[in-house]
Structure 1
Amino acid sequence: MNKLPTWRYLLQMVRYKLWLYLLHGTLWGTFNLSALVAGLLARAFFDTLTGQAQLPGGTMGVIILLVVLAVCRVILMLTAGSAEIMMRFTMSNLLRRNLLRRVLDRPGAYALPYSIGDAISRFRDDAYQAEDNVDWSDEIVGQGLFAVVAFIVLLSINARMALITIVPLIVVAIIARRASTALGRYRAASSQATSEVTGAIGDILAAVQTVQASGAEGRTVAHFQRLNEQRRTTMLTDRLATQALSALTNNTASLGTGLIMLLAASSIRGGSMTVGDFALFISYLSFIADFTSGIGQFLAVYKQTGVAFERMGALLGDAPLSTLVEHTPMHLKGSLPAVPAPMRHESDRLNHVEVRGLTYLHPHSGRGVAGVDLSLSRGTLTVVTGRVGSGKTTLLQTLLGLLPMEKGEIRWNGQVVENAAAFFVPPRAAYTSQVPRLFSETLKQNILLGLPDDHAALKTAIRGAVLEHDVETLEEGLETSVGTRGVKLSGGQVQRTAAARMLVRDAELLVIDDLSSALDVETERALWQRIFEHKDATCLVVTHRRIAMQRADRIIVLKDGKVDATGTLAELLATNAEMRNLWQGDYEDSADELM
């Protein structure tokens, strides 16, 4: 996918809140304009003191005007600063919102192309870099305009010295141009090294028990130290190059200023320039010097921003790169819009689901499912079983649209399902994955996940998940915080919390991927019994557990991604060798044996 020019991204960001961008530029422009006025007042003040000019109010009048101007500049600075904060926050959060939306739009079973820490670095650091460039863009334009005005005024005072002020600007532009490629390369290396460190931190914290169990603490720390040393080196190079360019541009401007001041001093002695003219010249010279150093830094920031957009664009997947700066509401003020609860319609009622030729092969391994047929009728339990790697989880995820179906057709009550990902959601379907994910919230919030707080529905779901006794033993009941990824709960409690989350949605079809792997036999039996207290409950379940297969109306045996046999448990034990091998294996004690 072809990348967009950096200016195209920046232009779209500016257009999102053009009025805020213009307000920010106008306020800072007015602030700079006040400095131009201050220079004129300074000339009048010194010329009045030396008797080369006469003002109606005298020197006291000029002093009063300067004080008033200073107060106005303070007010302008505070106002412009507030506008800048709002503008920067808006611009970076437009990028972050679009990135997050695209991540959530990805097929649910697709992993991010980078580690969580790396992705966070792109959300945080690269979005900030783009925000910084937007802020620079209108400020550098304002500086340029006032530098031109100052240059014209200086021409009227002394043309020769005014022309000399352009020399540092030309030198700085040449230096910045030659350094831009290296700066982009250094920033890319620095950002990548930072992402690797943040990614490693996330991986280590998520796998503390694994590291401890394998005795790999020393090797893990040594690996982290190597990554951190690499980050230190690349960041030092990046910062050193950026600061070196800044020092070159600033010093070039300062040398030019010093040379001009020496020339101005000789002009005063020769009588061709007044003391007031000299004060004005020095005051306005700062505009040109600031623009000279600013343009060098802006060019460096611009190049680094191009790297930031490339890194953020990598998270978009197959979406157009313009998605990154797509205009979308953010609701930064007032209450957030209410999220409507899923509405149930007559057409949502499940009578029959028919799947024909379902196919998805993982691009890297070539494994998956191919040509799978299945049929689900209302009020039935269908179990999918098979050996490790037979395609059980892939089958569920492809049916639900969490993986993109390559071939096949799905019909709900005879109607073709065009978009499985959008269709198989509550109230039509609810899903519990093989490894349930909990958030660092309360138990209640993890179950509801945004649904209205319906006490009766919540109570029913908790009972259905055999979780009521666990809730009673928790310190704050449903308001107990479960910790990061549910770390305060046992494996069985995590699975039953996920079951309650599924049940509270009262969906027509329950899709379950090995829900009971961490449950004891009695709890599992109670769980299935309570689910099927509702005679209309329709379940599609991946499991190897005998208790579930004994209750199943139909069992689908997968082998190498294809259906090896279907039927009841008795039929399959009598006719299918694969089912007999699975049944005779000691799977009661292993949650992962058939996954």
Structure 2
Amino acid sequence: MTTFQYLWRLIMYKPVRYVINAIAWTVIYLAPIAPGLVTKEFFDSLTGNAKLGYGVWGIIALLMAATLGRIVLIVVGFITDVHFRFRMGMLLRRNLLEHVLKQPGARAIPVSPGEAISHFRDDVDQSEEAASWSVDVFGMTCFAAVSSYILIRIDAQMTLLVFLPLVLVISAAQLATARLQKYRAASRESTAKVTGEISEMFGNVQAIQVAGAEKRVIERFRKLGDERRKAMIKDRLMTELLDSIFSNSVNLGTGLILLLAGQKMRAGTFTVGDFALFVYYLTFVTQFISNVGKFITYFKQMSVALERLTFLLQGAPAKILTMAKGLHLDNKSPEREHEHEQADPASQVSGEQAYSPLQRLDIEGMSYAYPDTGRGIADVQLTLERGSFTVVTGPIGSGKTTLVRTLLGLLPKDAGRIAWNGEQVDDPGTFFTPPRSAYTAQVPRLYSDTLRNNILLGQAEQDGSLQQALHAAVLEEDVAQLPGGLDTVIGPRGVKLSGGQAQRTAAARMLVRDAELYVFDDLSSALDVETEQKLWERMFQRRGDATCLVVSHRKAALARADHIIVMKDGRIEAEGTSAELLQRSTTFQELWYGDEVPAANLAVGGPVEAK
């Protein structure tokens, strides 16, 4: 998609609002035409050459009325511009965010979160700016056309000298296009690196302190800041240079007009009122020249913004950015959507399969390899029956987490088939969401908000569901000890909670959603033995017919499993119950006993007993 097509699609998102905005600003820019003519009559009246009979005070009254009228028009223009402009920005951010959220977790964004914020903020703002300034250029072009007609009728030579600088400005801006794009791209990139570094520092404060790396981190941040400073100076210098060309070319035109007007007035072919009209219009011509130059600059910068936003799409067509979607600015819109979802909970995503309770989940030949290392999982065959408790275990790096993330669509599978009740799942990322499934990641993602909001994440609490989830997650006693209970703000990434509390908060978040399939990824790794026992006991008491897929190496989970999958080197090495695997799987014996059993007993089929 070209920059012009991008601009056009933004304009056509709300064409009626754009037209209204264009009309409003065209009227604003045309408004000075009348005061200019009145000003001409005022000065001609002082020399006895006036053609109107309003008198001096009458003309002054007309000027004041015109000024007040233009003020009102400008207020109206800002209202129309805000309504149009910010809808464009919201549309771009909405579509970009929707695309990111639909991507598998490993491919959601190709940059750091800080850099992504720079894309969402700066590049969208730049796109808004260019589209908004197109309205100004249109309005001032209309003013230039009308004022040129009036001035040409007075003196064609003088008019030429007024608009001659415009040609110089446009030529200078075009010559500077390539360098301006280069500097603006470098400026955006350096800013993104700085914001990304800030994000990384805030997210790894403890790791930096433990490693004693404060000085190295600060030095790296200082280096990035210096690179950004240099890039910003070049960008700013080029922008100021263009502005200087704009203003100085107008000043040159003004000097020529003054010289020529003096000669014509001495010859008697040019009145004081004519001179006043030229000077009055020249102020607005200056704005016209500057605005044309600014629009050219913003349009070129818009191409940089489009390139950066398209990069976030990771190969998806750029038209996704400008697809017309509802923004729900009307309070009634979310309510209607909510009612629709209540009536049909399976229709949350366009094209999504109809909802049906889980009876059987089949995974056939599922594979995924990480692009950088080539490691991952290969040819995984797995079946989960309704109400079963399946545990995936194995050594570190065996592919346990990769398996569940690929199943849920958080990683894009390279091969294989997933079937829910015999029906193929085409888009796991949108399919495996509540009420079908709920997931707890290995590292809980918590936010600097209240504990209640971290658990509910916008979901309405119904029929004591939150209290039930707290009980099942063995979290109710911890909540009672917090200073604000459920309304305690837990800090960025839940820093005010212990590791075990963070894991149980993530478990409560999952359990409050009452899903068909619960997927736990190493949920109890930070829990003490007693708390872990309680958690699994309560899970079994409340799960009913729910199906559980658990990644764990802890005996508390393994001992309760209906079926155990042993992973090694990305493949399923063995499967069965704990008693069966203790008899025939060396890998499982090592996981179960650790260093507690002599090496002679680790042979497959050796004389070991399940504890």
User: Do Structure 1 and Structure 2 share a fold, with TM-score over 0.5?
Assistant: yes
- Out of 527, 538, 543, the position equivalent to 2:547 is 538
Report the equivalent of 2:262: 265
CA–CA distance in 2 between the matches of 1:239 and 1:354? 59
Does the alignment pair 1:469 with 2:477?
A: yes
Alignment of 1:127-138 (within 5 A): 127-138=124-135
CA displacement at 1:455 relative to structure 2: 4.2
For residues 6-405 of structure 1, the aligned pairs below 5 Å read: 6-334=3-331, 337-338=334-335, 339=338, 340=341, 348-405=356-413
Q: Which residue of 1 aligns with 2:586?
A: 577
Q: Which amino acid counterpart does residue 56 of structure 1 have in structure 2?
A: G
Structure 1 residue 336, shift from structure 2 partner:
6.0
Q: Is the 1:150–1:287 contact (alpha carbons within 8 Å) kept by the matching residues of 2?
A: no
- Given the superposition, is the C-alpha separation of residues 87 and 225 from structure 1 closer, same or farther in structure 2, using an over 3 Å criterion? same
In the alignment, the residues of structure 1 paired with residue 249 and residue 107 of structure 2 have an alpha-carbon distance, to the nearest angstrom, of: 52
- Structure 1 residue 211, shift from structure 2 partner: 0.6
Report if aligned partners of 1:29, 1:142 keep a CA contact under 8 Å in 2.
yes
Distance 1:151 1:285 in 2: 11
In structure 2, C-alpha distance between the alignment counterparts of 1:421 and 1:448, rounded to whole Å: 20
How far apart, CA to CA, are the structure 2 residues paired with 1:586 and 1:8?
A: 66
Kindly state the Cα deviation for residue 225 of structure 1 after the two structures are TM-superposed: 0.4
- Distance, in Å, in 1 between the alignment partners of 2:422 and 2:27 is 68
TM-fit CA distance, 1:331: 2.0
User: Do 2:507 and 2:523's aligned partners in 1 also have CA atoms closer than 8 Å?
Assistant: yes
Q: Distance in 2 between matches of 1:158 and 1:549?
A: 95
Structure 1 window deviating more from structure 2 (421-430 vs 501-510): it is 421-430
SS in 2 for 1:16: coil
Local SS of the residue matching 2:519: strand
| C-alpha spacing 1:416/1:173, structure 2 compared with 1 (3 Å) | closer
Q: Deviations over 1:430-478 (max 9, x none)?
A: 1111111112222122212222221421111111101111111112222
* C-alpha distance after superposition, 1:500-521 (max 9, x if no partner): 1111111111111000011000
* Distance in 2 (alpha carbons) for counterparts of 1:289 and 1:201: 42
Residue 442 of structure 1: aligned partner: 450
Superposition pairs of residues 403-414 of structure 1, within 5 angstroms? 403-414=411-422
Partner SS for 2:410: coil
Q: Residues of 1 paired with 2:36 and 2:3: CA distance?
A: 37
Q: Residue 557 of structure 2 aligns to which amino acid in structure 1? A: A
Cα distance in 2, alignment partners of residues 294 and 141 from structure 1:
10
SS in 1 for 2:107: coil
Tell me how far apart the structure 1 counterparts of residues 49 and 458 of structure 2 sit (CA, whole Å). Answer: 76
TM alignment of 1:518-537, pairs within 5 A:
518-534=526-542, 535-537=544-546
Q: What is the CA deviation profile of residues 57-115 of structure 1, one whole-angstrom value per residue up to 9, with x for unaligned ones?
A: 22221111111111111111222122223322222221111111111111134352111
Contact 2:26 2:142 in 1 (8 A): no
- Matched AA of 2:488: T
Shift of 1:582: 2.4
- 1:482–1:489 contact (8 Å) kept in structure 2: yes
Opposite residue 59 of structure 2, the aligned amino acid is: V
The Cα shift of 1:332 comes to 2.4
Change (3 A) 1:287 1:413: same
State the Cα distance separating 1:382 from its structure 2 match.
0.8
* Cα pair 1:531 1:537 within 8 Å, conserved: no
Aligned to 1:549: 558
Q: Which residue of 1 aligns with 2:577?
A: 568
Unaligned stretches of 5+ residues in structure 2: 347-353, 597-611
For residues 265-297 of structure 1, what are the alpha-carbon distances to aligned partners after superposition, in whole Å with 9 as ceiling and x for unaligned? 211111001111111122223333332232222
Q: CA deviation at 1:347?
A: 6.1
Identity %: 48
Letter in 2 for 1:107: P
Amino acid at match of 1:441: D
C-alpha distance in structure 2 between counterparts of 1:48 and 1:475, whole Å: 80
**Helix, strand or coil: the match of 2:304?**
helix
* Contact 2:389–2:550, Cα closer than 8 Å, also in 1: yes
Cα distance between partner residues in 1 of 2:91 and 2:261: 49
Question: Aligned partners of 1:441 and 1:430: how far apart in 2?
Answer: 21
* CA deviation string 1:346-371 (max 9, x = no partner): 96322222221111222222111111
1:507 aligned partner? 515
Shift of 1:237: 0.8
Rounded to whole Å, the distance in 1 between the matches of 2:278 and 2:135 is 25
Q: Which moved more, 1:186-195 or 1:5-14?
A: 5-14
* 2:609 match: none
Moved more, 494-503 or 406-415: 406-415
Q: Aligned residue pairs: how many? A: 584
Cα distance in 2, alignment partners of residues 335 and 234 from structure 1:
46
1:488 aligns with 2:496: yes
Gaps of 5+ in 1: 588-595
Query: Residue by residue, what CA displacement relative to the aligned partner does 1:174-223 show, whole Å, maximum 9, x if unpaired?
Result: 21111111000000001100000010011001111011000000111111
- Aligned-residue Cα RMSD (Å) equals 1.8
Of 415, 438, 441, the match for 1:433:
441
The one-letter code matched in structure 2 to 1:177 is Q
> C-alpha offsets along residues 160-183 of structure 1, whole Å, 9 cap, x if unaligned?
222233321221122111111100
Which residue number corresponds to residue 591 of structure 1? none
Partner Cα separation in structure 1 for residue 333 and residue 197 of structure 2: 35
2:506 maps to what in 1?
498
> SS of the counterpart of 1:348?
coil
C-alpha separation between the residues in 1 aligned to 2:183 and 2:273?
47
For residues 413 and 294 of structure 1, what CA distance do their matches in structure 2 show? 62
On the 8 A contact 2:114/2:197 being kept in 1, the answer is yes
- Is the alpha carbon distance of 1:81 and 1:347 closer, same or farther for their aligned partners in structure 2, counting shifts above 3 Å? closer
Q: SS at 2:559's partner residue?
A: helix
